[in-house]
Amino acid sequence: MSRYLRHFTVVGDDYQAWDNDYKKWEDEEEIVSREGDGPPQAPAPVTTPPRRFTDTRNMLKKLFSAHRFQVTIVCLVIVDALLVLAELLLDLRIIHPDEKQVAPKVFHYLSICILTFFVVEVVLKMFVYRLEFFHHKFEVLDAVVVIISFILDLVLLFREHEFEALGLLILLRLWRVARIINGIIISVKTRSEQQLSRLRQANLQLVAKVQHLEFSCNEKEQEIERLNALLKQHGLIN
């Protein structure tokens, strides 16, 4: 399963580990159990960027992984979905707009505002994660859909009648549905990855605690054997 899941990562996932080890999740407990058998390996040296960029990037990383930010993204995606649905109903003439066409313009401007926020989010993620961003197919797909949707909405804002003449208006609305679905998938997956990371850390702590208790138990058993041998030596027990 992990052979296929490695293609569906978002920023913050360890893509190199996924590429090098397809059975990372299945073998995790076995690897942890062998950690106590040998000396710990020294971590690989890490090159750090200049300090003035490090603080900003770390702050943005915390922002992108924050629960409130993820909730905000999901809420904006839901609002965007409602706006697209309203625009589709207006385009299909299921709901008849007012004579001055105020409602469609309001929906369209609100939709562009939300897309602008998503474009800024994509640009900041590229700044924060840099080359790592392009190793995550979900994020790349999301960026492509956001940018194309933003460009098409801007073009549609000034060329609406031409799109209506070509019959492409509804198709453009449906293209936005791809952005909405992909945005929901990324938001849910990011939240699941955070929960999984916390469970892994808790599991590692429990495994380390069990190993410590086993080591302490072995020491106690050796101490008991030594005391029993000492008592036998002095004839206090048979």
- What structural domains does the chain harbor? 56-194 (1.20.120)
Average pLDDT score over residue span 133-153: 81
**Residue 181's pLDDT band (cuts 50, 70, 90):** confident
Cβ–Cβ < 8 Å for 128, 61: yes
When comparing pLDDT for 152 and 210, which is higher?
210
What tokens were used for 5? 């899941």
What value, to the nearest 5°, has the Cα angle with vertex 133 and ends 130 and 138?
165
Directed axis angle between helix 102-129 and helix 169-233, to 10°?
Answer: 40
Only one residue has tokens 């008849």, namely 96
What is the pLDDT averaged over residues 109-114?
Answer: 87
Higher-scoring residue by pLDDT: 63, 7: 63
Interval 10-48: pLDDT, tens: 565 554 544 544 444 445 445 544 554 544 455 555 455
More reliable by pLDDT, 176 or 142: 142
pLDDT for position 200: 92
- Structure confidence at residue 1 (pLDDT): 43
Contacts of residue 179, Cβ cutoff 8 Å, sequence gap at least 6: 80, 118, 142, 145, 146, 149
pLDDT of residue 9: 56
